[in-house]
Chains A and B, each alone.
Chain A
Amino acid sequence: MRIAVIDYDVGNVRSILSAFDNQGVHALLTNDKKKILESDGVILPGVGAFKHGMDNLNKYGLVGTIKEYIETGKPFMGICLGMQMLFEESEEFGNTMGLGLISGKVIKLPTKDIDNEKLPHVSWNELNGDESLWLGTILEGINNGSDMYFVHSFVVQPDNESDVLSTTEYSGSNFCSSVKKGRVYGCQFHPEKSGKDGLNIIKNFINICGQ
C-alpha cells in the first residue's frame, strides 16, 4: 500500500510517519505530484496559520494536485490545518481562500464560558457523535466520548450538517471536530498525538485505503 504524506514545510510530520510505521505501513513524505497521484491514500498534515499553509501549498504547486487526487475518489485525510484548508475560506488574519473541497468556512472558535475562555484550545477533549454513523469511517470502533488531543484557535463550520462526523464541546461551543465527505476525511484533533485511540484512527484510514 502506498500512503503519501504531503510535504509542504508546515509543522511536525515525523509523528504522522511514525504513527503509520506503528501500524505497519510505511508512509512516504513527498511533494512530488506523480507520487501523490499514484498513492492509495493521502494525508495533508499541518499546524499553524491558514494563510501560511495555503501559501506553501501554492509555492509547491500542490493545490491542483490535491484537487486532481480527490477527484479520483481515493481516500484523503486532512489533519488540523490540513482539514481546515479543505474548506472554502478562513477568517484567520483577514479572509484567505482555501481548497474549497467542502462547503463552509473556518472561523475563530467562539468562546462563551467566561471561566474557561482560553485560546488556543490546547487540551484533550471528547469526540461526540452517533457511533452507528462511524461504522466504516475513520472513527469506527472509537467510543463516543473518547479523548483526542486538540491544539487550535480556529474551527471549521461546514454548510452541510451531513459532512459533520463528530463534534466537540469547548467553552460553551459545540464545534465540528471531524468531517467526512465521500472518502475525504478531516480531523481537527491530532490522531498521531492522541495515544492508542488516535492510532486506531490511523489504522481505520489504512483499512479504508485498502478497500
Chain B
Amino acid sequence: MKKVRVIARIDVKNEFAIKGIHLEGLRKVGDPNTMALDYYNNEIDEIVFMDAVAAYYDRNSLSDLIQRACIGVFIPITVGGGIRTIDDIKNALKSGADKVAINTRAVQDPSFITQSSKIFGAQCIVSSIEAKAVEEGKWEVYTDNGREPTGKDVVEWAKSVEKLGAGEIMLTSIDQEGTKRGFDINLYQHVANNVSIPIIASGGMGKSGDAVELIKNANVDAIAIASTLHYRIESIQNIKRTLVENKIKVRL
C-alpha cells in the first residue's frame, strides 16, 4: 500500500500566512517561513504555498518567499497562485519550488497545462481545482481563489486535466474549506473514481479522524492541512500516529 502524504498548506497574502473560511475572511496566522521550518522540523512530508490574492490582482509574488523558505526546508515544495506563463513556472522552479499549482490560467486556456507539462514534465504540474457543490453528487469548478464560477463540472474537468498532462490534482472543497468540519468525502470519491493521477485532498480537516475517514473511503494520495496545524489543534506527530493506528501507511 502506498504512503499517504501529509502536506501543510500555507496560504499567503503579501508577506503573511493567512487563513480564511470558504477561502474568504482572511486572517493573518503567522510568518510563512517560520511556519514552513517548524512543520519541516516536525516531519511534515511536503509544503504547499498558495498566494491567496495573486490571481485576483494579476500578479505573482511568491518567488522571494520561496527563495527564503527553501533555506532549511528539504522536502518538496509546491507553489500556486498567479501562475500564468511559462516564465512564471521557470521563476517558481528557480526559486526552489518543485511543482506549481495552476488553476485560473488552466481554465482560461487548457492548452497551458499541456504546454507546461511538455516543458517541465507532468510531475511538475499540479492542477489546482476549487470545487463547490451545486447539487447532490455534482460540483462546479471555481477560479480566482473561490470567487469566480466557471460552469465547468468538477469530475469532467478533472478527467480533462489528466488528459492534458497534469501530474497531480489538488482538489479543494470550497464548501468545507476552513470549516474544520471534515472533508467532502463524496467529492473525492467521485473524482478519484474517474482519474488515475494522484489526488491531494484539501479543505475541511478539523481533526486527524477526518483524514482517516477520508482515506478509508476515497482513493486520495495526500491530504493538505491548514487550520488544524496553523491553529495548533493537533500536532503533525499526532496526526500521523492516528493514521498509523488506523492502518494507513505514512512516512515516519
Contacts and interface: CB of A to CB of B under 8 A. Distances in A.
Given A123-B2, A195-B43, A18 B76 contact: no
Interface stretch (B93-101, B132-140, B149-157): B93-101
Given A18-B74, A118-B198, A193-B76, A48 B124 contact: yes
Contact of B3 (A47, A120, A125): A125
B107 to A, nearest CB: 23
Interface of A: 11-12, 14-15, 18-19, 21-22, 47-49, 52, 115-120, 122-125, 147, 149, 151-153, 170, 190, 192-196, 198-199
A153 B74 contact: no
A124 B70 contact: no
Interface stretch (B49-57, B115-123, B204-212, B225-233): B115-123
A193 B75 contact: yes
Interface of B: 1-3, 5, 40, 43, 45, 67, 70-72, 74-76, 93-98, 118-124, 167-168, 196-198, 219, 221, 251-252
A149 B221 contact: no
Given A122-B221, A124-B45, A193-B98, A49 B76 contact: no
Most chain A Cβ neighbours within 10 Å, of B71, B72, B76, B221: B76
B64 to A, nearest CB: 13
B74 A49 contact: no
Given A124-B251, A195-B43, A195-B75, A153 B122 contact: yes
Q: State the majority secondary structure of interface residues on A.
A: mixed
11 contacts: A12-B93, A14-B96, A22-B74, A47-B124, A119-B196, A122-B167, A152-B123, A153-B122, A193-B74, A194-B74, A195-B40
B96 A120 contact: no
Contacts of B252: 147
Contact of B167 (A117, A120, A170): A120
Most chain B Cβ neighbours within 10 Å, of A15, A116, A193: A15
A15 B40 contact: no
B197 to A, nearest CB: 6
A117 B97 CA distance: 26
B70 A14 contact: yes
Which 6 pairs, one residue from A and one from B, show the smallest C-beta to C-beta distance? A48-B121, A124-B251, A14-B96, A147-B251, A151-B123, A120-B123
A79 to B, nearest CB: 12
Contacts of A122: 5, 123, 167-168, 198, 221
Nearest to A93: B118
Given A124-B45, A147-B252, 14 more contacts: A14-B94, A18-B70, A18-B71, A52-B119, A118-B2, A118-B197, A118-B221, A123-B3, A123-B221, A147-B3, A149-B76, A192-B74, A195-B75, A199-B74
